[in-house]
Amino acid sequence: MRAVLGAVAVSAVVIATVGSASGSAAPNGGASSMTPDHVGDFQLTDTTRIGHRLSYYQYAPAIVLMSHKVGSPLSIAAAGELAKLQAAYKDKGVLFYMIDSADTRDQAAAEVAAKKLEVPILVDDLQLVGEQMNIQREGEVFVLDPKANFQVAYRGPLDDRFSKAAPDTRAPAAKAYAASAIDAVLARQPVANPRVADKVGQTIAFPGRAHAADFEKISYSETVAPILQKKCVTCHQKGGIGPFQMNSYEVVKGFAPMMRETVMTKRMPPFFADPHVGKWSNDTSLTPDEAKTLIHWIEAGAPRGQGEDILKTHAGEAPEWPTQLGKPDVIVQLPSFNVPASGVIEYQHMVVDNPFKGDAWLRAVAFQPGARPVLHHITSGYSPDRSLPPADIPGSSVGSYVPGAGIQVYNEGTGAPVPAGGKLSFSMHYTTNGRPMTDVTKIGYYLLKTPPEIIRRAAVISNPIMAIPAGEARHKEVAYLEFPADALLYSVHPHAHYRGYAVELTQITPDGKETPLLSVPKYDFNWQLDYDLAEPLLVKKGTKLRVKWIYDNSVHNPANPDPKLNVTWGEQTWNEMMYFRVNYRWVDETSHHVRNDLQAKLMESRIIGFLDENADGKLQPSELKGPYAALRSRFAELDLNHDGGLDLKELAAAGMTHGAAKRLAETDVEQ
């Protein structure tokens, strides 16, 4: 991609305080009713699969969290009253969430739909947030003060009606505990009743908490170090990209609070697919058990215990060249680049002549970064020599590098085409780390000796006429491609710039059913990952692959270069992209029987796909936007078959297809 994304390392505000239960005991005492002084940073996903990171809401004057349990009348009543508070404090910018540590996301989503709940439910499926907050029951309200490091300004029932087991919400509350606490936080005054210990509502079971005494027995040597070895050390070792080397217990112990924070906020390991959607062969994330073990061990004080320190005895160095396939057939050396000690570096674009003799087919690509600690990622593209006749099978990406990825091996029997001639281009993202370094990256290409049976294809789902209004916090853009024949999906790659907040890929099968294939609840523009499907997915003829991007163009997005800008498509840092690459094969295509016709038909479907919000395959007047808006006034005359929507044929008759297609082609720079 030629996108110029400046490399600002805007990491979320680090909340140093580990939520500790050492704080104020509720009046009736006992360890089980301890309330933490502060709530440490976390990220949870709501029932609509949008991620919420506490530190992202640093700007809010107050945050209200309430524990919820599906199917309980008290929770439903409390949710209704919480929604009223939410409405009352909307103008003041107070944020409201429910936390459900008792149910699955599907259960919580069903309840939101059935009871029309208005306050979002954050699903605490690992129970780590509920454990940290020491949630005991449903209906417990926490009023947090973001300006005081997320201090728990109030904990207790919503109001005195909820001090009774069967709350009667017909009468107004006599003591509006939560509302008074919010008022006090907004006025920066002490809260009159910071802890109200009335115990109502059903208890929520936290099996982990029952075993808390065992956490200090978790073995560093046998349990913790092997997890770190497997999931972190590839990057956090000598020569790796991680900012510190996990090569001894002492280092791990020193970084333990920070490690806890990165795991609780799902920043590390860097893999951002929602674990409930899809299965990925390159999934590097922690399993639920691994995450719990790590957090519990850290919370128990990260004890050393007995046994060997395998991080020390097995400490190694990131290998220069992955060895699975031996020496590459062709090695390309990119021009050198001097990375300064500090500052922001715009994307660097390096272009080299196509090094392959004649038409080539890639079977694997390995990157050998010259300055691993500062090379964040590389994307690439192929541009043909325009003086030659167009190739039968067009070229696309010639590999991408992300830290820790090692070698990219394409699916068995497939290959990526690189037609003869032309150029290979590389877009390099560098981050500075305090010391100047010179990068000379080498790329090793493994070629197929004969053309493969199967052509690995690429296409981009995008909306080139995207428009994000200035200041909008959760702006949605959708676009799809409709597959004109059966295909097998291999790999997917979302891409946006600084305002990208969340992204989802769904498939809409011809029966109209929509199912998610990839969900990234909280996008991180620093990590341009490919998500490789564990098993190729059959995309049936007539299926739409639809992408939904959510953008945060508000002043509250710490990475936003300019919240006052109405943002449109562009490659510069201040522009955006609504971009999503998919890699697949046509089931009916082999290299002896090339189906460029299918590819062309697929691409044609974009002309409808980026406007057709209700995904019915044609454009109603309200869907005619941007350059298409002009068609509205002539709609009746253009709708030749009078079905209330414009299809491809009717658009072509209106003279729209060609220009749009040309415009769209420009978004295909790098696939």
Rule CB under 6 A: choose which of 45, 127, 234, 583 binds ligand HEC: 234
CB neighbours of residue 23 within 10 Å: 15
- Site for ligand HEC contains 286 (CB under 6 A): yes
In the block, which residue shows the tokens 């400490």? 315
Rule CB under 6 A: choose which of 139, 404, 421, 645 binds ligand HEC: 404
Cβ atoms 350, 382 nearer than 8 A:
no
Which of 258, 615 has the CB closer to ligand HEC?
258
- Tell me the closest approach of the beta carbon of residue 346 to ligand HEC, in angstroms: 17
Which of 17, 180 has the CB closer to ligand HEC?
17
Q: How far is residue 142's CA from residue 161's CA, in Å, rounded to a whole number?
A: 17
- Tell me the closest approach of the beta carbon of residue 286 to ligand HEC, in angstroms: 6
Cβ atoms 503, 550 nearer than 8 A:
yes
- Site for ligand HEC contains 403 (CB under 6 A): yes
Dihedral sign of CA atoms 631, 654, 608, 541 in order: positive
Cβ atoms 67, 139 nearer than 8 A:
yes
Give how many residues touch ligand HEC by CB under 6 A. Answer: 22
Which of 18, 268 has the CB closer to ligand HEC?
268
- Tell me the closest approach of the beta carbon of residue 268 to ligand HEC, in angstroms: 4
Q: Footprint of ligand HEC on residues 512-541 (CB under 6 A)?
A: 526
Rule CB under 6 A: choose which of 155, 161, 195, 236 binds ligand HEC: 236
Q: How far is residue 415's CA from residue 400's CA, in Å, rounded to a whole number?
A: 15
Which of 154, 255 has the CB closer to ligand HEC?
255
Q: How far is residue 533's CA from residue 519's CA, in Å, rounded to a whole number?
A: 13
- Tell me the closest approach of the beta carbon of residue 422 to ligand HEC, in angstroms: 31
CA angle 330, 331, 332 (to 5 degrees): 120
- Site for ligand HEC contains 262 (CB under 6 A): yes
Structure tokens at 205: 């079971």
- Site for ligand HEC contains 611 (CB under 6 A): no
Which of 427, 432 has the CB closer to ligand HEC?
432
The stretch among 251-259, 325-333, 413-421, 437-445 that binds ligand HEC (CB under 6 A) is: 251-259
Cβ atoms 142, 64 nearer than 8 A:
yes
Q: How far is residue 390's CA from residue 381's CA, in Å, rounded to a whole number?
A: 16
- Site for ligand HEC contains 268 (CB under 6 A): yes
- Tell me the closest approach of the beta carbon of residue 257 to ligand HEC, in angstroms: 9
Cβ atoms 507, 545 nearer than 8 A:
yes
The half-sphere exposure of 301 on its side-chain side, counting CA atoms within 13 A, is 8
- Site for ligand HEC contains 60 (CB under 6 A): no
Cβ atoms 527, 500 nearer than 8 A:
no
Closest to 155 (Cα-Cα) out of 176, 181, 129, 185? 181
Rule CB under 6 A: choose which of 7, 77, 122, 241 binds ligand HEC: 241
Structure tokens at 501: 């907040």
- Site for ligand HEC contains 322 (CB under 6 A): no
- Tell me the closest approach of the beta carbon of residue 14 to ligand HEC, in angstroms: 6
In the block, which residue shows the tokens 């004969």? 450
Q: Footprint of ligand HEC on residues 8-47 (CB under 6 A)?
A: 11, 14
- Site for ligand HEC contains 232 (CB under 6 A): yes
The number of angstroms, rounded, from the C-alpha of 635 to the middle of its chain's C-alpha atoms is 39
- Site for ligand HEC contains 255 (CB under 6 A): yes
Q: How far is residue 164's CA from residue 66's CA, in Å, rounded to a whole number?
A: 17
- Site for ligand HEC contains 645 (CB under 6 A): no
- Site for ligand HEC contains 378 (CB under 6 A): no
Question: Which amino acid, 255?
Answer: F
Rule CB under 6 A: choose which of 68, 69, 195, 231 binds ligand HEC: 231
Closest to 503 (Cα-Cα) out of 512, 515, 491, 494? 494
- Site for ligand HEC contains 139 (CB under 6 A): no
- Tell me the closest approach of the beta carbon of residue 526 to ligand HEC, in angstroms: 5
Cβ atoms 380, 356 nearer than 8 A:
no
Which of 401, 584 has the CB closer to ligand HEC?
401
Binding residues for ligand HEC, rule: CB under 6 A, are 11, 14, 231-232, 234-236, 241-243, 255, 258-259, 262, 268-270, 284, 286, 403-404, 526
